[in-house]
A and B are shown apart, each in its own frame.
Chain A
Amino acid sequence: MEVAVSRQKKQAQQVPIGSGVLGIGIISRLDNTALQNNHKRRMIGVFFNLKTVYTMSHMSSKDIRQKAVTIIATHFGESMAGMYRHFYVGKSDELILTSLTELLTEYLGQRGAEQELEKYSLNKIICN
């Protein structure tokens, strides 16, 4: 099992997409149809979204942070955005996206948060 996982990791490193986000190595080996298959998602224990993975691979950490701060500024004002700008310094992409999703879900509701993240191409990767 460990060998299989390490082989997957090795293969993932050779694939251009992926930037250290969980599940990327496995995702890169699956085709589009498989990505939409819930059974396979459960099998690998990761929930993900192809569009997100694709977008994430083309977005630098700085871009993600900037977009997150922009969304917060749009909905919550400059003061709150400033606080989050400081908070996000040195934080991983995953943490930024999780934090942003939580904040948006708390205030806009689940659908509202999804729509907002989609609008900025920041659909979140949810890991189990």
Chain B
Amino acid sequence: MQLSLKIFVPLCLLFLVLVLSYVAVDPTGLYISTAYLVFPIIAVVAGFRLSRLYAKSITGGMMTCLSVGILFWTLGEIFWYVFENLLHIDPFPSVADIFFLLAYIFFIYALLKEGAIVKKMFGQIRLAHIAVYIIIVSFFVIPISYYGVYQAYHQGATMLENGIAMAYGIGDLLLVVASSLVLLPLLQSGDGKFARFWITVTIGFAFFLLADILFGIFVEAYNGNVKLYRYIDLLWLAGYFSFAYAFLLHYDYVTSTREKLKKLMK
């Protein structure tokens, strides 16, 4: 996949600064928590700007759904940040969870819409690719089912807490299935700019899923602020990085196409 250096390099540098900050200072501190919000906000702004370019089209509808999903995750992050760092109260369960969970609906809807467009390509997928893909999807589905849904249930917790904790796992599972519906045909014919966009977005989802799995496994160490396990945050951050990169790169593609057309028309 071709990288756009003018977008990738600045984002990478910003990411590197955050990684070094995580290593150098306390990952639970106010500075890191604030810096953590930079990538989600970049992703949201880029997403909505791209949606505006595609206004009144099927692509625009999907971009808007994705952007709303990321906006809800970002709002969830902001509420989480406020509860944890400013109000000093336990953010789980809270309004932040409502935003985090609502986002899944928009992501899955966007993925299913894209799936409906690429469904014609399903017939052309090779069996070997399907087999490899099932293995990769199982890699996510099995641990999410166990750690995200089964282990999320605690007898001492309230029904609301258990419900929310398990809903994250179910949301992740649905996201894996919906992503696989879209990604497989796109990988088969991944020579278009939309394919590149969706592949980057799916890589972003993979980072989130991986982070959720690790969080499910090491939840006690994470909540105990053991520094090594707080690095799980970097995987969530990498997810936002992928979204920001996908949106910015595609925005660049579309604007350059429009510029070329304007030049031709002169």
| Interface of A toward B, CB cutoff 8 Å | 73-80, 83-84, 86-87, 103, 105-113, 115
Do A107 and B191 form a contact, CB below 8 Å, given A77-B59, A78-B57? no
Within the complex, the shortest CB–CB distance from A51 to chain B, in Å, comes to 17
Select A73's contact among B53, B56, B190, B253, beta carbons within 8 Å. Answer: B56
State whether A86 touches B265 (Cβ < 8 A). yes
Q: Which residues of B contact A107 (CB under 8 A)?
A: 192-194, 253
Q: How far is the CB of A121 from chain B (nearest CB, A)?
A: 16
Question: Is A77 a contact partner of B53 (Cβ separation < 8 A)?
Answer: yes
Q: Which residues of B contact A (CB under 8 A)?
A: 53-60, 118, 120-121, 124, 188-195, 253-254, 257-258, 261-262, 264-265
Across the interface, B191 reaches (CB within 8 A) one of A77, A79, A87, A109, namely A109
- Provide a sorted-by-A list of 22 A–B residue pairs whose CB atoms are within 8 angstroms: A76-B57, A76-B59, A77-B56, A80-B53, A80-B258, A83-B258, A83-B262, A84-B261, A87-B265, A103-B257, A106-B193, A106-B257, A107-B193, A107-B194, A107-B253, A109-B189, A109-B191, A109-B192, A110-B191, A111-B124, A112-B118, A115-B121
Shortest beta-carbon distance, B94 to chain A, in Å? 37
A109-B190 contact given A74-B58, A76-B57, CB 8 Å threshold: yes
Least Cβ distance of B246 to chain A in Å? 14
Chain B residues near A83 (CB-CB < 8 A): 258, 261-262, 265
- The distance in angstroms between the C-alpha atoms of A27 and B193, with both chains bound, is 35
**Complex formed: what's the CA distance from A108 to B253 in Å?**
13
Assembled-state Cα–Cα distance A115/B119 (Å): 11
Q: Is the CB of A108 within 8 A of B192?
A: yes
Say how far B14's CB is from chain A's closest CB, in angstroms.
28
17 further contact pairs, Cβ within 8 A, besides A84-B261, A111-B121, A115-B121: A75-B57, A75-B58, A76-B254, A77-B55, A78-B56, A78-B57, A80-B53, A105-B191, A105-B192, A108-B192, A109-B192, A109-B194, A110-B192, A111-B189, A112-B192, A112-B194, A113-B192
CA distance in complex: A28, B56 (Å): 41
7 closest cross-chain pairs (CB), A and B: A109-B192, A77-B57, A111-B189, A109-B191, A77-B54, A109-B189, A78-B56
Q: Which residue of A lies closest to B118 (CB)?
A: A112
Considering the complex, give the chain B residue whose CB is closest to the CB of A78: B56
The smallest C-beta distance from A30 to any residue of chain B, in angstroms, reads 29
Complex-state Cα separation, A108 to B192, whole angstroms? 5
Q: Chain A contacts of B262 at CB under 8 A?
A: 83
Q: Is the CB of A77 within 8 A of B258?
A: no
A76→B195 contact, CB < 8 A: no
Q: Return A118 CB to nearest CB of chain B, in Å.
A: 10
Which A-chain residue is minimally distant from B191 (CB atoms)?
A109
Q: Determine whether the beta carbon of B124 is less than 8 Å from that of A74.
A: no
Docked complex Cα distance between A80 and B124 (Å): 31
A127 to chain B, nearest CB (A): 20
Residues of B within 8 Å of A111, CB to CB, are 121, 124, 188-189
Q: State in angstroms the CA–CA spacing of A78 and B53 once bound together.
A: 9
Determine the residue in chain B with the shortest Cβ distance to A108.
B192
| Complex Cα–Cα for A91 and B57 (A) | 25
Closest to B120 in A: A115
Residues of A within 8 A of B258 (CB): 80, 83
Shortest Cβ distance from A113 into B: residue:
B192
**Complex interface: chain B residues within 8 A of A112 (CB):** 118, 121, 189, 192, 194
